[in-house]
Amino acid sequence: MIILGIETSCDETGVAIYDSKNKKLIANQIYSQAKLHSYYGGVVPELASRNHIKTILPMIKAALLEAKKKLNSIDAIAYTAGPGLAGSLLVGATISHSLAYSLNIPAVPVNHMEGHLLSPMLENNKPDFPFVALLVSGGHTQLIQAHDFGKYKILGESVDDAAGEAFDKVAKLLGIKYPGGSMLEKIARKGKINKFNFPRPMIHQKNMNFSFSGLKTFTANIIRENNFDKKIFFDIALGFENAIIDVLIKKCYLALKFTGYNKLIIAGGVSANLSLRNKLKKMVKKNQANLFFSRIEFCTDNGAMIAYAGMMRLKSKTFKNQLNIQIYPKWSLMDISEIF
């Protein structure tokens, strides 16, 4: 089966084609709108949806060209139906349903977070169920007990800012343009350890929840107390990064102990962070468990994970093709089966 995957939930337009018979991704096109939004310091929803409209058709054409496939060789179209920005989701949902209707093939709604959760399965070293998943993106920080495909339980999540959001906000205070997570990581590499003792919110609590919003205020205070001295920015970046990683590691440890599982997967934009990956590797090794993640380009939003999740949904036989175009901007992983 040849599946076209379409991702338009936020500020990346992703189009990919997955060949399920050969278990191979045969096209992957990603267009990031980051430059467009960085001028405003964050995503402007109306600009995002308008930009998806402009880019989606040329990107579908580019993906077909890359895969050397004709449109009529596509067997199904998977698209992100939520969670995400309503206007942006509508672009992907509308084009997917229209194309699918004209080709007489199914249009499969995919939960964006389930796409992230399954993204390590696009790699050679793929995890199988059950596993614990740490989903760390710009909009979510969640620990998931993934019992089987579609059977997920949220063990804990952020009570305020998501990890990626905290990275972006602290990056902004350090003068880094949106989205600042990956640049902050590079700056942190030049910092000195233990120069600033950042708090580790909720690290000693036995639950698996997170809180990251206070780290922004803490950073703002340090910057002010040091008279906006740019020389300390490297140390601040490292101090902040270490604090957030320590909390993520501790809560992953608790989740492994709680479930008794020996597989941990990390996914979402922040899982591209090499320091997080390396420290998690050490923690899982110490606990006789294994860590799984995707290549860096599939950590942030992409169409490949949506095509893959759509293929899994079709295979699970839990899917009924519907003609109405529906989006679910607040669709939780806990309610995944409700729309099928």
**Angle at Cα 266 formed by Cα 263 and Cα 271, nearest 5°?**
155
Cα–Cα distance, 177 to 4 (Å, whole number): 32
* Single-letter code of the amino acid located at 282: K
Stretch that binds Zn ion, among 154-162, 232-240, 241-249, 295-303 (CB under 5 A): 295-303
Q: Which does 182 bind (CB under 5 to 8 A by kind): Zn ion, ligand KG4, none?
A: ligand KG4
- Work out the number of other CB atoms within 10 angstroms of the CB of residue 338: 9
When the beta carbons of 3 and 305 are compared against ligand KG4, the nearer one is 305
For ligand KG4, the binding residues (CB under 6 A) are 10, 137-139, 164, 167-168, 179-182, 185, 268-270, 272-273, 300-301
Q: Which of 28, 111, 119, 137 binds Zn ion (CB under 5 A)?
A: 137
Q: Which does 303 bind (CB under 5 to 8 A by kind): Zn ion, ligand KG4, none?
A: none
Calculate the CA 2 to chain-centre distance: 24
Q: Are 256 and 262 in contact (CB under 8 A)?
A: yes
Cα–Cα distance, 311 to 53 (Å, whole number): 25
Question: Residue 301, interface with Zn ion (CB under 5 A)?
Answer: yes
- Work out the number of other CB atoms within 10 angstroms of the CB of residue 254: 18
CA distances from 300 to 50, 75, 92, 137, 293 (A): 21, 26, 17, 8, 12
CB of 21 to ligand KG4, least distance (A): 29
Stretch that binds Zn ion, among 37-45, 132-140, 152-160, 187-195 (CB under 5 A): 132-140
Contacts of 204 (CB under 8 A, 6+ apart): none
3-state class of 201 per DSSP? coil
CB of 90 to ligand KG4, least distance (A): 17
Q: Using alpha carbons, select from 257, 259, 253 the residue that is nearest to residue 283.
A: 253
Q: What is the largest CA-CA distance in the chain?
A: 64
When the beta carbons of 270 and 314 are compared against ligand KG4, the nearer one is 270
Q: Using alpha carbons, select from 53, 99, 91 the residue that is nearest to residue 73.
A: 99
CB of 219 to ligand KG4, least distance (A): 15
Q: Which does 82 bind (CB under 5 to 8 A by kind): Zn ion, ligand KG4, none?
A: none
Q: Which does 167 bind (CB under 5 to 8 A by kind): ligand KG4, Zn ion, none?
A: ligand KG4
Helix (H), strand (E) at residue 287: none
CB of 194 to Zn ion, least distance (A): 33
Question: Residue 165, interface with Zn ion (CB under 5 A)?
Answer: no
When the beta carbons of 161 and 235 are compared against ligand KG4, the nearer one is 161
When the beta carbons of 59 and 100 are compared against ligand KG4, the nearer one is 59
CB of 324 to ligand KG4, least distance (A): 25
CB of 22 to ligand KG4, least distance (A): 27
Residues that bind Zn ion (CB under 5 A): 137, 301
